């Protein structure tokens, strides 16, 4: 480390997508200069749980954001009633492109309606294919 200074930046609150980070250094005389930009890409955040109404029934759902350029990443949502056997869910109730066509917001719902009074668990699996 040159200059004896260090700075830590928490990036946990960044949204899915591409961000540019620059720093400005200022010396004791007040002269400042910016650093070269660094690009950070947040591929996807944690899924969020919610309830959605579809075809007159209410379902548990998981929503997530996916960077469309990350073609080597795939996401699957699974549901279980007993935590032993898992079924892949494929019913998308919302697809929306955000951030100028860079990010897709996906909401996948359970296949069992909440009014059936059965206990259900949802989880998300993410896979990255390395070329």
The separation between CA 102 and the C-alpha centre of its own chain, rounded to angstroms, equals: 13
Taken in order of first residue, the domains within the chain and their CATH numbers are 48-128 (2.60.40.10)
Q: At 1, list the tokens.
A: 């480390």
Neighbouring-strand partners of residue 45:
none
Residue 115 sits at φ, ψ, to 5 deg, of -70, -5
pLDDT band at 5 (very low <50, low <70, confident <90, very high): low
Sheet of strand 121-128, all strands in order from the earlier edge strand to the far edge? 87-89, 73-80, 121-128
Q: Is the pLDDT of residue 129 over 80?
A: no
pLDDT single digits (tens) 15-47: 777 788 888 888 899 999 998 888 877 766 678
Among 8-22, 23-37, 44-58, 104-118, the range scoring the smallest mean pLDDT is 8-22
pLDDT of residue 70: 75
Q: Is the pLDDT of residue 3 over 60?
A: no
pLDDT of residue 1: 47
pLDDT single digits (tens) 67-105: 777 777 788 899 998 899 999 998 888 878 776 777 888
* Tokens 């929306």, residue located: 96
């Amino acid at each position: 480390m040159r200059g004896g200074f260090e700075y830590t930046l928490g990036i946990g609150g960044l949204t899915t997508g591409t961000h540019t980070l620059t720093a400005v250094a200022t010396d004791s005389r007040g002269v400042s200069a910016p650093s070269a930009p660094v690009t950070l890409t947040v591929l996807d955040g944690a899924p969020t749980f919610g309830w959605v109404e579809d075809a007159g029934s209410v379902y548990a759902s998981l929503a997530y954001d996916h960077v469309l350029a990350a073609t080597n990443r795939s996401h699957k949502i699974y549901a279980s009633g007993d935590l032993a056997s898992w079924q892949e869910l494929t019913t998308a109730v919302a697809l929306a492109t955000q951030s100028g066509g860079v990010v897709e917001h996906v909401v996948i719902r359970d296949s069992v309606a909440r009014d059936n009074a059965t206990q259900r668990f949802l989880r998300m699996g993410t896979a990255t294919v390395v070329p």
